[in-house]
Structure formats: C-alpha cells, structure tokens
Amino acid sequence: MKALLSTATGGPETLTLGELPRPTAGKGQIVIDVKACAVNFPDVLIIEDKYQFRPERPFAPGGEVAGLVAEVGEGVTEFKVGDRVIAGCGNGGMSEAVAVSVHNVYHLPDAHGFAEGASLLMTYGTSIHALVDRGHIGEGDTLLVLGASGGVGIAAVELGKAFGARVVAGVSSEAKAEIARQAGADEVVVYGYQPFDKDASKALAEKFKAAVGPNGANVIYDAVGGDYAEPALRAIAWEGRYLVVGFPAGIPRLPLNLTLLKSCDVAGVFWGAFVAREPVRNRANIARLFQLWEQGKIKPRVTESFALADGGKAIAKLGDRSAVGKLVVTI
C-alpha cells in the first residue's frame, strides 16, 4: 500500500511516497481504510526524533485518521466492516490503511465528513483534558489561550466558551485574530514575533494583563512556549492554573518566584499518555466532545487539504507556524 514514509531523521523534506505492507487486524484491533489524516504538531517532532515516542523506520507520520473499517480482529464486537470511524493511531495515519486498537476508535456520525472527523480527537481531546482535568475550568473563569488560531488553540477557545469562561485569545497576526474571533474569543491580543528583550517582554505582559482584567487569568492555556510564556504567567490570577501544552516557539524557563507570588499551579498536559493510562476517563471526555459537537458548540475547522504525496508540505506549514485551523491529508 502507498504511504508517506520517514526513512531517515529530518524535516518534512525527507519524507517520500513509498510502499508498506498492508496491515492486518490483530486481537482487539481493526484495520481502517484511511480517507483523511489530520496533521498535528507531534508530526513535526516525530520525524525529527524529537517526540516522546520514536517508531521504528520506515514509518508514516499521522496520529489521527478517519475512514472505513476494512477488517475486524478477534474479540472486537463494537465495529463491523464498512463502519465510518475516527481513530487515534499515534503514527501511521498517512497511508492507505492503518491497524489500530479499538480503545481509541469511535463511530463517525453521518452528519460529519471524513476530513472534519479526522480533526477532532487530538486537538479537542488534548484541550478538554487540559481545561477540565488539569485546569479545572469553571463557569465565569477567565481563560487566556496562546496560539489561539491553531488546531489545539481553536479547540481551547471553543471549549472555554462552551464551559462558560470568558476567553482571551493570543495570536501573532490580525488574520489569525479573525480566526480566533470566529471561534468565539471575547478579546484578542496580537503579539509580535520573538525573541523579546526585557522591555518587549514587559510590554507583552501588560497587554495580557489589560486583556484578562484586574483579577488575572484563572486558566492559561500555553500551546506556544518560548518568550511568550513568562509574559502570560505574569497575567495569571491568584491560585490560577498555567497549562503547559506545547513548545513550537521553544521550551521556556519560567521564573518560579512568580508561582509563589500568585500561589498558582503549573500543570503539564500530555494527552497521549493520559489516553494510555486513563482510557475510561478519556472515553468519557470524548463522549462529552461528541455531545458538544452535535450541539454545534464545537466544530473542527479544516482550512486546507493536501494529497498524500504532499503531506510533507502540510507538516512544514504547521512547523513554521503559518497554519491556521486544521490541515488534513486526504487519501
């Protein structure tokens, strides 16, 4: 079968269209004929051997897919051949077929297409885990989202609104600001590009403080990192929760004296490990997402589609932070 392959450590330019043996369904698995595979930031990292997991090469990137069940393994009763499904697969999604464990497979409602379905699990799964399990978000909270025009950022904005929070979105351009507003952000802060000197960092902190209000942000969702982290932390509320989601701008070093002064928490968000360690809690979160999806309170925004051979271009666009919304590879 055709697959977009990583055969050597490197960037998106190292990916090539090649062949892999077609998978078969083992015990507790199904094989999915892939129709769409969403692109996420782990795809940027995994081909450079910078992600938490390092698959044996050659492998195809792509951690979440939508398609049709082609084969059912021993012990699987909840799916049958021909079912429309979405699934988290870790890697291997940018191929014509992928074998996955049923613990992270869900029926795709008829009202939603494959590209939209492929774009739900990782971004919204990460964000609901972050906001609910790690951030304990509540009605009336103020939520500051960094990187609010990307996949996880839009998900955080929409979920924040669905949970009754006031949402302030941080983005790097006016075009991205409009995306955040469409997702429901109450206010938007447009920041420049790092690196920031001391004065620029202080100025950004003041912009965040003005936007979140005098009491600060109860929850900060940081999917950016880099020089943006400290200014955001300076805008946190007393006993606020700072959520560490990702580092496309680099891994920051936070001054821990600020956490003491605000009596705030810094909480790591590793959704992939949560799925493996807490499958029952994760499925409850996903069930809640499906309810919000059907109610129209969340909606994955697919902004661009790519052919399988051009999957590297999609990964590159995500890596240089020029992407907005969700990018999808269609097969």
- State pLDDT tens for residues 285-303: 999 999 999 999 999 989 8
Average per-residue pLDDT for the chain: 95
- 251 pLDDT above the threshold of 80: yes
Domain ranges of the chain: 2-120+300-330, 123-272
Instruction: Say which CATH topology domain 2-120+300-330 has.
Output: Quinone Oxidoreductase; Chain A, domain 1 (3.90.180)
Region 49-76: mean pLDDT is 94
List the structure tokens of 323. Answer: 């992407």
Per the CATH hierarchy, to which homologous superfamily does domain 123-272 belong? Medium-chain alcohol dehydrogenases, catalytic domain (3.90.180.10)
The C-alpha atoms of residue 180 and residue 249 are separated, in whole angstroms, by: 19
Burial of 52 (0-12, 13-18, 19+ CB in 10 A): exposed
What is the SS3 string spanning 157-188? HHHHHHCCCEEEEEECCHHHHHHHHHHCCCEE
123-272 matches 2-120+300-330 in CATH topology: yes
* Parallel, antiparallel or unpaired: strands 326-330 and 302-307: parallel
The C-alpha atoms of residue 274 and residue 35 are separated, in whole angstroms, by: 27
In this prediction, residue 280 carries a pLDDT of 93
The C-alpha atoms of residue 215 and residue 42 are separated, in whole angstroms, by: 34
Region 177-182: mean pLDDT is 94
The C-alpha atoms of residue 160 and residue 183 are separated, in whole angstroms, by: 10
